[in-house]
A and B are shown apart, each in its own frame.
Chain A
Amino acid sequence: MTESMVERVFVAKVESIPLVAEFVTEQAEQAGLTAKRLMQLALVIEEAVINICNYAYEVPPGEVTVRIHTDAGRFVMEFEDGGVPFDPLTVAEPDIKLSLEEREAGGLGIFLIRRMTDEVHYRRVNGRNILSVAINTP
């Protein structure tokens, strides 16, 4: 497969999630991801975008740039925002062994992203947050 890179900017609001999913899914299908992987990808997209909608901007809505790289063996998505510095990978993982009374709702989004992808990275570049996730392709 040839290397490619595409990107699109979306308004960072809940209503944009289906539009981001549509944009990414089109690329993912071309990259040969399985139906199961596409469903997992939809989940990763929602979790990444909703974090930006909820926490990135002091005055919402801001924007989110979604960038997709594909090369041999990897499908990489980047979610970039210009909001307050925030590394989601520093959020404590939920303790999944706790009882109902003890369980809290926090941290599940990034936890699901980690489990549904092969690699997750965060970097802060020129005042922007970039969350990068990679999925190995068949």
Chain B
Amino acid sequence: MEILTREERGFTVVSVSGRLDAGTASDLEKDCANLINKGGTKLILELSALEYVSSAGLRSVLAVAKKLKAAGGGLSLCGLTGLVQEVFSIAGFDSFLPVYETVEKVVEKG
């Protein structure tokens, strides 16, 4: 798994590629916690290069979303494809997290 972060018009964009699984999920949670502590409370997880996610990955995403909510911010997801889209949908995460096609669409909406 590789995590790249950037700022885009007030949003913190976290691009995750590779595999978000039992071996890597805690790294994402830690990185996001650091970003939130530094004030990045409008966070976008950009997952177009993510190939695989398991329940361990879902748990991290849920923890990050709860932390953001508590901090008065929020989490958006974008770029879901293939198995990743299927897993997020089966788990019902697309019902409590906003999902967009691209980062641009999240930013446009503000």
Contacts and interface: CB of A to CB of B under 8 A. Distances in A.
A103 to B, nearest CB: 6
A15 to B, nearest CB: 8
Interface residues of A, number: 26
A101 interface: yes
B110 interface: no
B-side interface mostly:
helix
A97 B52 contact: no
B55 A47 contact: yes
Contacts of A109: 54-55
**Chain A interface, DSSP helix/strand/loop, else mixed:** helix
Interface of B: 21-23, 52, 54-56, 58-59, 62-63, 65-66, 69, 82-83, 86-87, 90-92, 95-97
Interface of A: 14-15, 17, 36, 39-40, 42-43, 46-47, 50, 94, 96-101, 103, 105, 108-109, 111-112, 115-116
